[in-house]
C-alpha cells in the first residue's frame, strides 16, 4: 500500500497516555498527537477540506492562487494541498509568529507577507485585512477564510471526532482543545456530544482573548483584548467556527504557564510539541484536578510540533529574557 500524495496521509493520529504531568489526577488523560499529520499539525485536516469544498463549489479554478491569513499551521496544510493540486499560495501572517513558521512556509513554495500584530482586526494593516485585500486584487485567487469557513469545523466533525470516539471505545468523558478559529473544538464537540451528550467539552483560551468572557456573559468586551505571546489560540474576533453552545466551559492560561508546560511535555512525556499544546494541557489538567473522577477518560488535542518554536520557548536565552526560566 502507498499514498499517491502526502496529503492522503492526513488523519488517524495516535492517542498517547500522559503519565508524568498528570501526577495526582484521577482518571485517564490521553493526548491526541496531531504532529503525526504530514504538515505536523491538526490544521492539515481542515486545510484540505476547505480546498476540496472550494473546488466542488467552483470557487477555486485550475492554476489558481490560495491566499490566506494564518498563524502558520493552516498555511502549511494549505501549502501541501496546493502542491498536490497545482495551486500557488500566498500567506499573510502577523509579526508575532515565529520565524520558523515563516521559513517553513517559504520552504514549501509559499509567498509570505508579514503584518504588524498590534493593530485592530479592521485596520487595513492587519493580517485579516491584508489577506482579504490581496485576494480581491489577485486574479483567479481563493481566500479560504479559516475563521468563518464552516468547512473547517466540518473536517473535524467528519474525521477527528470519530477517531477519538473509536480510539477510546466510546469511554471518553471529557475533551479539551485550545480555541483559535474554533473549528477543532466545535467540530469534534458536535460529533462527540451526538454520541454521548454527557461528554464535557473544555475550551482553552489565553489572556488577551475574548472567548471566555463572551461565553460566560454574552458580552464582546474590547477591554479583554491586549497583546499576548502564545501563538495559535485566542482571538480578538468571534469566528463563525466557534460554536459556544457546544463548549461547556473555557479556561484561560497565561503565556508563561503554557510555555513551561510545553517544555515539560518534551522533557517528561517525550512529546516535542508546540506552544498552544502547553496551553491545552495546562488548562485541561487544571480542570481535571477538580473534576475528573476514577474511571473518567479525558482527551486533549496537541495541535502541532515543537520545530515551529525552536527560537522561542525551546530557546533558553529567549525564555530567560521573558523571565520564565531561572
Beginning with the edge strand found earlier in the chain, give each strand of the sheet holding 111-115 in spatial order.
111-115, 88-94, 65-69, 141-142
Distance (Å, rounded) from C-alpha 177 to C-alpha 75? 20
Distance CA 30, CA 36 (A): 15
| β-strand partners of 270 | none
* Residue from 258, 202, 203 nearest 229 by CA: 258
Element (H, E) at 153: helix 151-155
Burial of residue 49 (number of CB atoms within 10 Å: 0-12, 13-18, 19+): buried
C-alpha span between 41 and 18 (Å, rounded): 19
Any catalytic annotation for residue 26? no
Strand-pairing partners, residue 205, are 252
Active-site choice (32, 43, 101, 212): 43
H helices of 218-274, where?
255-269
Write the CB contacts of 245 (distance below 8 Å, at least 6 apart in sequence): none
Q: Give catalytic residues, as residue numbers.
A: 43
Amino acid at each position: 500500500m502507498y499514498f499517491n500524495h502526502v496529503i492522503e496521509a492526513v488523519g488517524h493520529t495516535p492517542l498517547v497516555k500522559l503519565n508524568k504531568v498528570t501526577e495526582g489526577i484521577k482518571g485517564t488523560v490521553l493526548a491526541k498527537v496531531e504532529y503525526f499529520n504530514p504538515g505536523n499539525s491538526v490544521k492539515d485536516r481542515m486545510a484540505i477540506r476547505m480546498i476540496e469544498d472550494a473546488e466542488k463549489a467552483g470557487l477555486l479554478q485550475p492554476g489558481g492562487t490560495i491566499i490566506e491569513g494564518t498563524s502558520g499551521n493552516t498555511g502549511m496544510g494549505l501549502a501541501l494541498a496546493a502542491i498536490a493540486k497545482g495551486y500557488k499560495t500566498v500567506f499573510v501572517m502577523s509579526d508575532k509568529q515565529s520565524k520558523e513558521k515563516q521559513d517553513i512556509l517559504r520552504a514549501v513554495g509559499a509567498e509570505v507577507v508579514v503584518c504588524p500584530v498590534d493593530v485592530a482586526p479592521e485596520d487595513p494593516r492587519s493580517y485579516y485585512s491584508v489577506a482579504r485585500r490581496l485576494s480581491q486584487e489577485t486574479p483567479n485567487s481563493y481566500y479560504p477564510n479559516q475563521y468563518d469557513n464552516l468547512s473547517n469545523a466540518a473536517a473535524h466533525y467528519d474525521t477527528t471526532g470519530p477517531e477519538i470516539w473509536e480510539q477510546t471505545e466510546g469511554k471518553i468523558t471529557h475533551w479539551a482543545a485550545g480555541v483559535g478559529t474554533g473549528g477543532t473544538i466545535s467540530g469534534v464537540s458536535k460529533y462527540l456530544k451526538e454520541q454521548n451528550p454527557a461528554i464535557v467539552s473544555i475550551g482553552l483560551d489565553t489572556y488577551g482573548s475574548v472567548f471566555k468572557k463572551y461565553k460566560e456573559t454574552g458580552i464582546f468586551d474590547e477591554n479583554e483584548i491586549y497583546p499576548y505571546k502564545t501563538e495559535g489560540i485566542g482571538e480578538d474576533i468571534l469566528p463563525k467556527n466557534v460554536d459556544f453552545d457546544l463548549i461547556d466551559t473555557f479556561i484561560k492560561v497565561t503565556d508563561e504557564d503554557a510555555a513551561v508546560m510545553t517544555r515539560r511535555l518534551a522533557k517528561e512525556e517525550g512529546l516535542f510539541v508546540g506552544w498552544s499544546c502547553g496551553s491545552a494541557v495546562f488548562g485541561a489538567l487544571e480542570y481535571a484536578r477538580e473534576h475528573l473522577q476514577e474511571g473518567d477518560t479525558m482527551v486533549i488535542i496537541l495541535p502541532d510540533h515543537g520545530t515551529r518554536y525552536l527560537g522561542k520557548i525551546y530557546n533558553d536565552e529567549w525564555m530567560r529574557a521573558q523571565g520564565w526560566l531561572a
